[in-house]
A and B are shown apart, each in its own frame.
Chain A
Amino acid sequence: MSQTPGHGGDQKPGKLKILADYIQSTDAWKSFFRTGYPDSLLKRMAVMRSSFVMHILPTKVGVHGLKLGYTWCMGGITLFLFLMLTLTGVILMFYYVPEEHRAFTDMKDLKFMVPYGMIMRNMHRWTAHAMVFSVIVHMARVFYTGSYKPPRQFNWVVGVILLKLTLLLSFTGYLLPWDQLGFWAVTVGTNMASATPLVGYEGPFSEFLGIRVDNDIRFAIIGGTRIGPNALIRAYVWHCVGLPLIASGLMVFHFWRVRKDGFSGPL
C-alpha cells in the first residue's frame, strides 16, 4: 500500500518497486504503455497522447466541460449502452437462430429455459430502449448548448446519421423474435419503403424506371415480395453485423472529432 513508486525521493526502494521497475522496463510493457510511470508533466501528457484508451480524451479540458450538468454525460452513456448491447447481443447469439421455424421458440427458450437467458434478453431490450432515449437527450443537449455550431457542424451531421443507425438497429431487432408484434410492425414498416420516389414500386415516377414489386427497394430490403425467411435473415445480418460495423466506424470518427474540436464554451 505504501509502495507508491516515483513519489518521495528519500524513500528506500522496496522489492515491489524493483519488480515494478523491472516490469516497466520490459519490451512488452513498453509496447503496450509506451511511457514509463507518469511522474512528470511531460510523461503524463505522453500517456494521454499515446495510449489507445486515453487518446480520445483531450490533454486539456475546460472547467465547464467537466461539469456534469453541462453535458449530462449523455454521449458517454450512449456509448456505454452500445457496448452493453454488443455484449448482451453476442450472448444471445449463442441460442438464437434466425430461421422462421426456430426464431420464436429460440427466443422463448432464452426466456424460460436458458439460465439467465431472461435477464440477458431483457437487458438487451431495455438497453436498446435506453439508447434511443439517451441519443435523443444527447442531441437535445447539443442543440440547446449550441454545440452543433461551427466548427462542430460536421460532427452534428455524423451524429444525425448515428441517430438513424440507432433507430435502424432498433427496427431490425424488432423482427427477430418472429412474433406477431414484430412481424406486422416490419410488414408495415417495409411497406412504407415501397412508396419511395423512383425506387419504390408504389412511389411517384417509378414507372419511368420500370420498377415492379419484384425489383424495387423494398424487395432489396426484405429479399422477396413478402416478409418471410429472407427478411428474417436480412434483418438479422444487418442487426448483428452490418449496422453495428457502420455505427462503430462513425462513432470512432465522432469521438475523434469531439476530441479535436474540444468542448464548446458555456452558454
Chain B
Amino acid sequence: MAEEVSGAPGDAPSRRKFFLITGWSSLGLFLAGAGAAFAKYFYPGVLYEPQTTFNAGKPSDFVKPANPNETIVDERFKKSQRVWIMRNTNGIYVMVAVCTHLGCTPNWFPGEQRFKCPCHGSNYNTQGEVVAGPAPLPLFRAKLSIAPDGSMIVTTGLLGIKRAELQYKKGVLLPRWTDEEKKDIAKAPYFLELKA
C-alpha cells in the first residue's frame, strides 16, 4: 500500500493520490472562494454620498478683482461642497479644499494670500501650488462647465479632478504646476475664461 501512495517514478498517480489531490484542492478552492466573497463584502455596490456635481450659480455672482494680480477666493461652497470658487481678472476656476498631503481642509488667509492646512502646515498659493509644508501636489482643480441657463456646473469628487489625471502621467509629480500643466489648467474644463 505504501508504494501505491507515493507512486513509483513514472507511474500514473494512484487512485488514492488522485483523491487526495482532488479533495485538498476542492477544499482550497472553496476556502479561496469564501475568502474572496468575504473581501468583496466590504465593497458596497451603491454609495449614499453627497453629489459630486453641483450648480455654483452664474459667473456674475462672483466679484471680479480690480487688480490683475489679485484673485478673489469665494468660500460660500466650502462647507457644503468643499471647494473654493476662485475669480481672477481672466476668469473663474474651482479648487478642491482637500489638502494633497493627507486630506485635511486648508483654511484661506486673505492677509497672506495663502491657504494653510492645519494638520501638518502645508501652505498653498492662489494657484494651489505648494509654497511650504509636506504636500506633494498642488491643490486639485474641479471641472467646470456651463449649463444651458448660463450657470456653472462644478464636478468635484476625486474622479473628476485634475489630480486623477496626473496619476497616469509618468514622470515626477511636483508641488508646483509644470509649464505644460499650467497651460492645461488655464483652459476648459479647469478654467472658465470670461471676457471683459
With A188-B103, A225-B158, A230-B44 given, is the CB distance from A213 to B164 under 8 Å? yes
C-alpha spacing A213/B159, complex, angstroms: 7
- Are B159 and A228 interface neighbours, CB within 8 A? no
With A187-B102, A191-B103, A213-B159 given, is the CB distance from A220 to B42 under 8 Å? yes
Q: Convert A228-251 into 0s and 1s, putting 1 for each residue whose CB lies closer than 8 angstroms to a CB of B.
A: 111000000000000000000000
B47 surroundings in chain A (CB, below 8 A): 214, 224-225, 230
A230 surroundings in chain B (CB, below 8 A): 44, 47
Q: Judge if A207 is at the interface, Cβ distance under 8 Å.
A: yes
Q: Which of B39, B44, B48, B103 has the most C-beta atoms of chain A within 10 angstroms of its own C-beta? A: B103
- Are B103 and A224 interface neighbours, CB within 8 A? no
Q: Which A residues from 176 to 225 make CB contacts under 8 A with B?
A: 184, 187-188, 191-192, 201-202, 207, 212-215, 219-221, 223-225
- Are B49 and A224 interface neighbours, CB within 8 A? yes
Q: Judge if B168 is at the interface, Cβ distance under 8 Å.
A: yes
- Are B102 and A188 interface neighbours, CB within 8 A? yes
Q: Closest CB-CB distance, A227 to chain B, in whole Å?
A: 9
Q: Judge if B109 is at the interface, Cβ distance under 8 Å.
A: no
Q: Judge if A226 is at the interface, Cβ distance under 8 Å.
A: yes
C-alpha spacing A213/B160, complex, angstroms: 11
C-alpha spacing A184/B120, complex, angstroms: 12
Interface set of B (CB-CB < 8 Å, partner A) = 39, 42-44, 47-49, 102-104, 119, 157-159, 164, 167-168
Q: Closest CB-CB distance, A80 to chain B, in whole Å?
A: 33
C-alpha spacing A37/B43, complex, angstroms: 57
C-alpha spacing A228/B157, complex, angstroms: 14
C-alpha spacing A194/B127, complex, angstroms: 25
With A188-B119, A213-B159, A225-B157 given, is the CB distance from A219 to B43 under 8 Å? yes
A207 surroundings in chain B (CB, below 8 A): 167-168
Provide 8 A-B residue pairs closer than 8 Å at the C-beta atoms, listed in order of the A residue: A187-B102, A188-B119, A201-B167, A220-B39, A223-B42, A225-B49, A225-B157, A229-B48
Nearest A residue to B41 via CB reads A220
Q: Closest CB-CB distance, A242 to chain B, in whole Å?
A: 11
B48 surroundings in chain A (CB, below 8 A): 229
Question: Which of B42, B49, B104, B167 is the one whose CB lies under 8 Å from A188?
Answer: B104
C-alpha spacing A226/B104, complex, angstroms: 11
A187 surroundings in chain B (CB, below 8 A): 102-104
- Are A215 and B44 interface neighbours, CB within 8 A? no
With A187-B103, A188-B103, A188-B104 given, is the CB distance from A202 to B159 under 8 Å? no
Q: Which 9 A-B pairs have the closest CB atoms?
A: A188-B102, A220-B42, A191-B103, A213-B158, A191-B102, A187-B103, A224-B47, A184-B104, A224-B49
- Are A202 and B167 interface neighbours, CB within 8 A? yes
Taking A187-B104, A214-B47, A215-B43 as given, write out 11 further A-B residue pairs in contact, using a Cβ cutoff of 8 Å, ordered by the A residue number.
A187-B103, A188-B103, A188-B104, A191-B103, A201-B167, A213-B164, A219-B43, A223-B44, A225-B49, A225-B157, A228-B49
- Are A212 and B104 interface neighbours, CB within 8 A? no
A202 surroundings in chain B (CB, below 8 A): 167
B49 surroundings in chain A (CB, below 8 A): 224-226, 228
A224 surroundings in chain B (CB, below 8 A): 44, 47, 49
C-alpha spacing A223/B158, complex, angstroms: 15
C-alpha spacing A240/B156, complex, angstroms: 34
Q: Closest CB-CB distance, B69 to chain A, in whole Å?
A: 33
- Are B159 and A212 interface neighbours, CB within 8 A? yes
Q: Closest CB-CB distance, B31 to chain A, in whole Å?
A: 18
Q: Closest CB-CB distance, B98 to chain A, in whole Å?
A: 9
Q: Closest CB-CB distance, A244 to chain B, in whole Å?
A: 19
Question: Which of A184, A192, A225 is the one whose CB lies under 8 Å from B119?
Answer: A184
